[in-house]
Amino acid sequence: MIKLEKLNKSFGDLKAVSDVSFEVAQGEKIILLGTSGCGKTTLLKMINRLIEPTSGSVFLNGENIQNIKPEHLRKGIGYVLQNNGLFPHYTIEENIAVVPRMLKWDSKKIEQRTFNLLEKLHLDRHYLNAYPAELSGGQQQRVGLARALAADPPVLLMDEPFGALDTITRTKIQAEFKNLDELKRKTVIMVTHDVQEAFELSDRVCLMDKGSIIQMGTPSELLFNPSNKFAVDFLKEQNLLLQFKAVKLLQIVPVPEFGAYNLGSINLDVDADVWQVLELFKQHNVDLLTVTDQHNQQVNTLSFADLMAAFYQHVKTYRHE
C-alpha cells in the first residue's frame, strides 16, 4: 500500500531523516516513535508531499507520489495535524467539510456525512455552528479527526493527535480511536513520543533516533527482542507494564474451544491481556482464575502466583525464540 524507499531529508547541514525504508500494508497501523527532533514529523510530511525529500521515493499503491499532484494526493490521505490545526475562523461544520467541498460533494451528502461523523465521535450537533476556540481540547481533537476522516480516505496520517490532552481525556480518546470501526480498515501512520500510546495503538512500531530507524517491529518484538541499547533504554522505564499489556492471557493459559476464563463471578474476555487480569485480581480481591470448558466444567485453576509464573515462563521462551 505505502512503500518508503531510502528517504532522506536534509535542512542545510542537518540530516532530519536518514535512509528510511519500510512498507506498510493496507489496514496496518504504524506508529513513528522517538524523542523530540528525531525526524518523525518530517518523515510523515514526506508521505503527503508537505515536505519534499532530498532523495528517495514514496510509493502509494505502486505509484511514485512524485507523479501525483500534491492536491490530488492529499484528497486520498487524511491528515490530523499536531495541536489539531483547525481553522479558527471556520465553524466546526465548515472545518469538517473542507475536503468534501474540495471534492465538490453536494451539500446534502456533506451534511449526512458530518452528522454521521459527529455521532461516531461523540460530539453533539449543537457544536456545528461553534468555532474551535469554544470547544475543549478533547472536543477539538475529535473535530480534527472528523475533518481528516470526512472524505473517507483510505490512508490517515496523524501527528501527535492526542498530544495536547490531559491523561484522562487522552486515555478515553485513545480507547475510542482504537474501537472506531471506520478506522479499522484504514492504513494509519501516526507520530507520537508516548511509548504507551505507541504500544496500545499500533500493529508495528517504528522506533527512530536522529533521523534513522533504530528498530521496526511489533510491540512484542521491540519489548522482548530489542535490537540495541537505544531500544532497551527507550523502553526501560515502562518495560514491565508494557510486557503485561503485550502478552495475552490466551498466550500463557490455554482455554478449550468455546471455553471461558473466570475470576470469581466475572467472565473475562478471551482476548484480555495479562495487565487487565492483574487489575481485576486487585480490584475484586479474588484468589483464583478458573478456566472452564464449553460445558462450564472447570478444567484449570490458577492463583496469582501461578499466573505470574506462566507469564515469566512465556517471556523467557519468547526471548529465546
Ligand X SMILES: Nc1ncnc2c1ncn2[C@@H]1O[C@H](COP(=O)(O)OP(=O)(O)OP(=O)(O)O)[C@@H](O)[C@H]1O
Query: Could you tell me which stretch among 33-41, 131-139, 199-207, 303-311 binds ligand X (CB under 6 A)?
Result: 33-41
Q: Does 49 bind ligand X (CB under 6 A)?
A: no
Q: Does 13 bind ligand X (CB under 6 A)?
A: no
Which CB sits closer to ligand X, 7 or 38?
Answer: 38
SS (H, E, C) the chain: CEEEEEEEEEECCEEEEEEEEEEECCCCEEEEEECCCCCHHHHHHHHCCCCCCCEEEEEECCEEHHHCCHHHHHHCEEEECCCCCCCCCCCHHHHHCHHHHHCCCCHHHHHHHHHHHHHHCCCCHHHCCCCHHHCCHHHHHHHHHHHHHCCCCCEEEEECCCCCCCHHHHHHHHHHHHHCHHHHCCEEEEEECCHHHHHHHCCEEEEEECCEEEEEECHHHHHHCCCCHHHHHHHHCCHHHHHHHHCEHHHHCCCCCCCEEEECCEEECCCCEHHHHHHHHHHHCCCEEEEECCCCCEEEEEEHHHHHHHHHHHHHHHHHC
**What does the per-residue mask of binding to ligand X show for 189-208, with x meaning CB under 6 A?**
----x---------------
Q: Does 41 bind ligand X (CB under 6 A)?
A: yes
Nearest distance in Å: CB 83, ligand X: 11
Q: Does 40 bind ligand X (CB under 6 A)?
A: yes
Which CB sits closer to ligand X, 52 or 279?
Answer: 52
Q: Does 87 bind ligand X (CB under 6 A)?
A: no
Q: Does 37 bind ligand X (CB under 6 A)?
A: yes
Q: Does 307 bind ligand X (CB under 6 A)?
A: no
Q: Does 39 bind ligand X (CB under 6 A)?
A: yes
Q: Does 42 bind ligand X (CB under 6 A)?
A: yes
- Binding region for ligand X (CB under 6 A): 11, 14, 16, 34, 36-42, 193
